[in-house]
Structures are given as structure tokens and as C-alpha cells.
């Protein structure tokens, strides 16, 4: 039975990453099938290489599962990723896609740390990024249609502006990012810090205190972030965040250190 379960092959280089090659289907409800291809970021700096799309989506309830068949072997994925890939799958050609939950071995902390550290480059090297919000609310399709009919001549520049190849168009201090996402959780609370490092301004200063390391426990990651605040934005920003209460208690966390999971 275990031989029918998909097994990852290790990445060979620090700048290697996996791409999903999703097989086409005319049937939206057909099983997801494809394979994982190893590539390097330098490969995709050349326009002759077939481009790929990066996917941003909400992981959702991990207990709701879907399945994708990779090289003929089954792998469980979240229902939200299943829905996103089904919506994005092409009807006639292989679709190249990067999705973190599928292209990173989530159980391998060492690989995950390396991949999260280069995630900003993975997104910016992609031809474009699709943000999948799940099932559209009633009236959403009509809204999109009306917007397209309004000023169609402006759509192409807008698409170009948002192309991943133009690099990051949003950067902000870590303190501002954490304030803006206040109240929003994460499957792994450490990603509240790690997941935003690729869009922070002053990344070099952040790197002095915060290292993407999933073998580092949650308490130490929070203290690392607090030390960054003491060095960068100032004590007032740190104390503002520290006022937030959290049921999480640890003797390794000073009383002045914010519990970032409940910001």
C-alpha cells in the first residue's frame, strides 16, 4: 500500500524548487494528475524557458482533503488547494504551477526553511501570480464582467503592472505588516513572522535577528522578532504589540515580548 503513496525526491541545490506540471482535462471534476519537476531560479530568468504561474490561496481547514496523483501515486492535499488547481487546470495543455503546500516538503523543516527564505524570488520569477479566494460569492462574476466592459483598454497595463517579473510593488516595515494582519491566524504560528519576510522593507536588518528556521521553537521565534523591534522601529512599536493578550504561556518568553499569534 505504501508503494502507492507519493514520495518526494530531495532538492539538489539551495536555489532549486519544485514545479507542478498539471495535466490538462476537459472535465473540471476529473482527478488531478501531474508530476513534480525540479528547476532552479536561474533557469526561469530566461524568457525561452516555459513560464510558470505561482498560486496564493487560503489553506483552509486541514481536515478537509482532496487528492492529486503525481507520477501515478496519490498525495493528499487540502480541499482548498484541490479547488484552486481544478479551477486553474488548462483544458488542452500542461499547466506549470508553484504552490507552497505541494512543492515544499512540509514535514522537512530544513527544506522548508530554505524554500521559505527564497519564496519572494519564486513569486517574482513567476510569469504571474493567481490569488485564489475560493468559491465566488453571489454576484461576483457579474461584477468582474462589468469591470472588464467598463474600460477594457486599461486591462493590459494593469496585468503587466502586476506581473511577478516586475518585482515587489508592496513593501512595508514588519511592524506595519503585523498590525495590518492583526487577528489573522496561521496554520503554523511561526509563519506569522517567517511568511512576511519577503515583503518587509529593511530585510537586511530583519535578517540580523530573524532566521527562517523551522527547527526553532515558537517561543524563540517570537523573542527573535521582539529583538528586531528593539533594534529597528523602536521600543514604542514593541510595547504596542506587547499589549495584546494571548493564552500561550512559556517561561522562555519575557513579559514584554508580544505573543504574535494573537495580534
With H, G, I as helix, E, B as strand and everything else as coil, classify residue 233.
coil
Residue 82's pLDDT is what? 95
Please state the separation of Cα 105 from the chain's center in Å: 13
0.75 exceeded by pTM: no
With H, G, I as helix, E, B as strand and everything else as coil, classify residue 257.
coil
Residue with cell 517570537: 222
Residue 148's pLDDT band (boundaries 50, 70, 90)?
low
What residue segments make up the domains of the chain, in order of their start? 2-166, 174-262
DSSP string, 54-100: EEEE----TTSEEEEEETTEEEEEEHHHHHHHHHH--SSS-EEEE-H
| Separation of alpha carbons 229 and 209, rounded Å | 9
Question: Where would I find the beta strands (DSSP E) of the chain?
Answer: 16-22, 32-40, 53-57, 65-70, 73-78, 95-98, 128-132
Per-residue pLDDT, averaged over 230-239, amounts to 66
Per-residue pLDDT, averaged over 139-160, amounts to 56
CA end-to-end span of the chain, whole Å?
Answer: 44
Provide CB contacts within 8 A for 164, sequence distance 6+: 54, 123, 124, 125, 126, 127, 128, 129
Cβ atoms within 10 Å, residue 210: 20
The pairing of strands 73-78 and 65-70 is: antiparallel
Q: For 75-120, how does the pLDDT look when each residue is reduced to its tens digit (9 = 90+)?
A: 999 999 999 999 999 999 999 999 999 999 999 999 999 999 999 8
Amino acid at each position: 500500500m505504501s508503494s502507492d503513496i507519493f514520495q518526494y525526491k530531495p532538492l539538489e541545490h539551495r536555489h532549486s524548487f519544485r514545479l507542478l506540471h498539471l495535466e490538462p482535462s476537459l472535465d473540471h471534476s476529473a482527478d488531478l494528475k501531474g508530476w513534480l519537476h525540479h528547476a532552479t531560479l536561474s533557469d526561469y530568468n530566461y524568457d525561452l524557458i516555459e513560464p510558470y504561474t505561482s498560486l496564493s490561496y487560503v489553506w483552509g481547514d486541514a481536515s478537509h482533503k482532496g487528492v492529486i496523483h503525481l507520477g501515478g501515486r496519490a498525495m493528499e492535499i487540502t480541499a482548498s488547494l484541490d479547488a484552486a488547481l481544478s479551477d486553474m487546470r488548462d483544458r488542452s495543455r500542461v499547466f506549470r504551477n508553484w504552490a507552497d503546500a505541494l512543492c515544499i516538503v512540509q514535514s522537512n523543516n530544513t527544506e522548508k526553511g530554505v524554500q521559505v527564505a527564497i519564496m519572494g524570488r519564486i513569486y517574482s520569477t513567476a510569469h504571474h501570480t493567481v490569488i485564489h479566494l475560493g468559491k465566488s460569492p453571489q454576484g461576483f462574476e457579474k461584477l468582474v464582467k462589468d469591470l472588464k466592459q467598463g474600460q477594457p483598454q486599461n486591462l493590459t497595463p494593469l496585468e503587466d503592472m502586476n506581473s511577478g517579473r516586475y518585482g515587489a510593488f508592496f513593501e512595508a516595515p514588519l511592524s506595519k505588516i503585523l498590525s495590518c494582519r492583526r487577528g489573522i491566524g496561521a496554520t503554523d504560528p511561526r509563519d506569522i513572522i517567517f511568511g512576511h519576510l519577503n515583503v518587509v522593507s529593511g530585510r537586511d536588518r530583519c535578517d540580523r535577528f530573524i532566521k527562517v528556521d523551522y527547527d526553532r521553537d515558537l517561543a524563540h521565534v517570537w523573542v527573535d522578532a521582539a529583538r528586531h523591534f528593539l533594534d529597528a522601529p523602536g521600543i514604542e512599536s514593541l510595547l504596542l504589540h506587547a499589549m495584546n493578550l494571548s493564552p500561550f504561556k512559556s517561561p522562555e518568553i519575557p513579559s514584554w515580548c508580544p505573543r504574535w499569534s494573537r495580534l
